[in-house]
Amino acid sequence: MVSSDDIRRRIEAALPGAQVTVADSTGAGDHFEVCVRADAFVGRTLVEQHQLVYGALGTLMGRIHALALQTETPQEARG
């Protein structure tokens, strides 16, 4: 079983300074909702932003059934 903290730590390690919120949608450790706000997303397409996060999660993805992901840059968050 994967924990919300596992997910948050992996993303924070790969994207320093990122603000990460993780919700375990069902409490069963296999469905998560993840929001990431990071400077690293500036100038990247949505696909590239999500690929950065999936890359950070690596092998964890194989143990999760569903992960709903939202990414944004700090500028988008303020706007």
Partner 1 sequence: MNDVLTEIEQEIRDNKVVLYMKGTPAFPMCGFSAAAVKLLREVGVPFKAIDVLAEPEKREAIKQYSNWPTIPQLYVGGKFVGGSDILREMHARGEFAPLVRQVAGVG
Please report how close the Cβ of residue 34 comes to partner 1 at its closest, in angstroms. Answer: 9
Under rule CB under 8 A, which residues in 42-61 are in contact with partner 1? 46-47, 50-51, 54, 57, 61
Q: Is 68 in the site for partner 1 (CB under 8 A)?
A: yes
Please report how close the Cβ of residue 5 comes to partner 1 at its closest, in angstroms. Answer: 20
Q: Is 21 in the site for partner 1 (CB under 8 A)?
A: no
What HEC string does the chain produce? Answer: CCCHHHHHHHHHHHCCCCEEEEEECCCCCCEEEEEEECHHHCCCCHHHHHHHHHHHHHHHHHHCCEEEEEEECHHHHHC
